Amino acid sequence: MAKIRVAIVGVGNCASSLVQGVAYYREINDNTVGLMHWDLGGYDATDMEVTAAWDIDERKVGTDLSEAIFAKPNCTAVFAQVPQSGIVVRMGAVLDGMADHMESMPADRSFRVAKGGQPDKADIVATLKKAGVDVLVNFLPVGSEDAVKFYMECALEAGVGVVNCMPVFIASNPEWEQRFKAKGLPIVGDDIKAQFGATIVHRALTNLMRQRGVRLDRTYQLNTGGNTDFLNMMDRTRLASKKISKTEAVQAVLAERLADENIHVGPSDYVPWLNDNKLCFLRLEGALFGAVPMNIEVRLSVEDSPNSAGVVIDAIRCCKLALDRKEGGALIGPSAFFCKHPPTQFTDDEAQRMVESFIHPAPGLAGTVKCLIVAAGQGTRLRDVAPSKPLADIKGVALIERVIETAHAAGVREFVVVTGYEALRVEAFLEALASRRGIDITCVRNPDWAKANGLSVAAAEAHLGEQFVLLMADHLFDPTILSDLLARGGDPKGAVLAVDRRLKSPLIDPADVTRVETDALGAIRSIGKGIAGHNGLDTGIFLASKALIAAIRADLKDGGEGGISDGMRRLASAGHAHAFEIGDRFWLDIDDAVAHGEAERVTA
């Protein structure tokens, strides 16, 4: 398989660790240590080479990459021999890459700008093209707003994907993201989470407290280090976006946001002798059973730059996979798993599953079938929380946006949403979402929204192919349920329904859930709210064919209500309704304030 051609902007400590890492794994050919994936979608950890690099430091510009990565002020661990690469580090455009205070610091610890001319956009674009670059990796210092935007313009013009390792917001800025989408170029960002760093440990502990019912009252994360990243951040005016990025990464996994005065997360001090060793001090204070106080303190010591490279090496490969698949825009799952400030936050568990779904798209129907989402109902039981159920806010993201992102992560690319109650408002939201995220969404209005939900399915018939995914706008779920369902394939004369066998799940409202009875081979015998002798629950996730619509219409003709379950019952009696086992995977029907609270608790 072709190598991934990478361009590096900023040959600092993180770049050093990345280049060393590729050499290390080439040399020892050992896939047992330090990697989340040896093979990622057909690319192994050594399948990349740097074909262009830019820096501004006089000790790096003009030297071979294999020497520049060890030149001062780089100070990270040396763990691999790197052979001559033949790639000479080029002079970059300085812009705001060099903080003023850097000049007054000792040369061995700080940047020194190389003399001579600087390239313009045309020079960089020409080099990116000549070097056949697939992915540009941005390792510029925190606060380099202008420089980052300059290099992003170059990437867009040269037609290369981007991994944005630092906190100038590009992937998570809708306007920039849209520009990558429009050019069909993928971007993973923003601000890489380290492999086992302060952010992921802080998130894991915060999540653990949430899962165990412990209320988090106050927390801090103090980070100290002695590399140029920490030195650069001594200029607090450069820090604004880093602070947002790091703080939001923790706030996102909390059940309730902490007031600003109760959370402090940040780069805290520069201690030169620590070099690239980062020391992080974490404290979480909370309340246990009976509001009895507890606290935990953690001291984490990590070499900062290899810790980032262990994640960047996967982000680059995901970016290349998206290029291969001609998929542009922000990669939602990979960005959420690999970065602190992605376009949409998910818990680390959710994000990891999204990454696996992205790497292993379901064969068969993923990317080929449309997804019909029923969003027409009134949602009266959620009225106190939101006037329109699909737009109910769950941690800052509308419920229907979460459903669409989840299905997108599972490999669905085209959406048809049936609206009804509050149609104008829902349609306006979806139009804005489609343009913000570059997702293909068609709205279909169901004038009979107050009647049975099968009429919404029938209303969309003209927009659907022979088979389609059918989802409910108020059901959250693990994306692997859908990707596995797509991999399983459907019944061209019927429908397959994802079924949960955990009949006593605390997440279920027994009075409202639709019940399913199957035979031992998974054929559905009966389905409905009131049926007795059930052995499964309807999750609202279907892979259907137009036979379901025909069955709904037949039910109406015979005087039935025309609900989805009515259609499924008819398919069942013809032997064409099947159950798909979801195992212990997550799904949640958000019908009332209790379920909404649960959704807020389990999502990021």
Q: At its nearest, how many Å lie between ligand NAD and the CB of residue 503?
A: 45
- Two structure tokens written together for 97: 């890459």
Among 221, 228, 247, 603, binds ligand NAD (CB under 6 A): 228
∠ CA 400-401-404, rounded to 5°: 85
Q: Is 92 in the site for ligand NAD (CB under 6 A)?
A: yes
The yes or no reply on residue 474 touching ligand NAD (CB under 6 A) is no
Residue 13 interacts with ligand NAD (CB under 6 A)? yes
Concatenating the DSSP letter of every residue in 510-566 gives TTTPPEEEE-TTSBEEEEESS-SS--EEEEEEEEEEHHHHHHHHHHHHTT----HHH
Is 34 in contact with 80 (CB distance < 8 Å)? no
Interface mask toward ligand NAD for 326-365; x: CB under 6 A: ----------------------------------------
Q: How far is the CB of 259 from ligand NAD (least distance, A)?
A: 26
C-alpha to C-alpha distances, 334 to 119, 135, 163, 301, 362, nearest whole angstrom: 32, 15, 11, 26, 17
Binder to ligand NAD among 24, 111, 580, 586 (CB under 6 A)?
A: 111
What one-character DSSP code corresponds to residue 412? -
Name which of residues 191 to 220 contact ligand NAD (CB under 6 A): 191-192, 194, 197
The residue among 224 and 378 lying less far from ligand NAD, judged by its C-beta, is 224
Strand partners, 394: 397
Termini Cα distance of the chain = 36
Nearest distance in Å: CB 38, ligand NAD: 21
Does 94 bind ligand NAD (CB under 6 A)? Our answer is yes
Nearer to ligand NAD, 14 or 330 (CB): 14
The one among 18, 19, 35, 55 contacting ligand NAD by CB under 6 A: 55
**What distance in Å separates the CA atoms of residue 553 and residue 544, rounded to the nearest whole number?**
15
Is-contact 90 171, C-beta < 8 A? no
Q: Reduced to 3 states, what is the DSSP secondary structure of residue 186?
A: strand
**65: contact with ligand NAD by CB under 6 A:** no
Contact map string, positions 581 to 600, toward ligand NAD, x by CB under 6 A: --------------------
CB 188 within 8 A of CB 318: yes
- Amino acid present at 593: A
Q: How far is the CB of 303 from ligand NAD (least distance, A)?
A: 9
Q: Contact at 8 Å (CB) between 38 and 31?
A: yes
Rounded distance between C-alpha atoms, residue 542 and residue 471, angstroms: 7
- Confirm or reject binding of residue 304 to ligand NAD (CB under 6 A): yes
* Amino acid of residue 324: D
Q: Check if the beta carbon of residue 443 is closer than 8 Å to that of residue 515.
A: no
**Which is closer to ligand NAD, CB of 23 or CB of 485?**
23
* Contact by Cβ (8 Å): 115, 61: no
- Contact segment (CB under 6 A) with ligand NAD among 80-88, 141-149, 171-179, 397-405 equals 141-149
Size of site (CB under 6 A) for ligand NAD: 38
Mark residues 246-285: x for contact with ligand NAD by CB under 6 A, - for none.
----------------------------------------
Select 328 or 343, whichever has its Cβ closest to ligand NAD: 343
In this structure, are strands 277-287 and 263-270 parallel, antiparallel, or unpaired? unpaired
Q: Kindly tell me which residue out of 221, 277, 308, 456 binds ligand NAD, with binding defined by CB under 6 A.
A: 308
Among 172, 277, 307, 347, binds ligand NAD (CB under 6 A): 307
User: Closest by alpha carbon to 286, among 348, 207, 198?
Assistant: 207
Closest CA to 54 of 151, 153, 157: 151
Contact residues for ligand NAD, defined by CB under 6 A: 9-15, 54-57, 92-95, 97-98, 111, 139-142, 144, 147, 165-166, 191-192, 194, 197, 227-229, 232, 304-305, 307-308
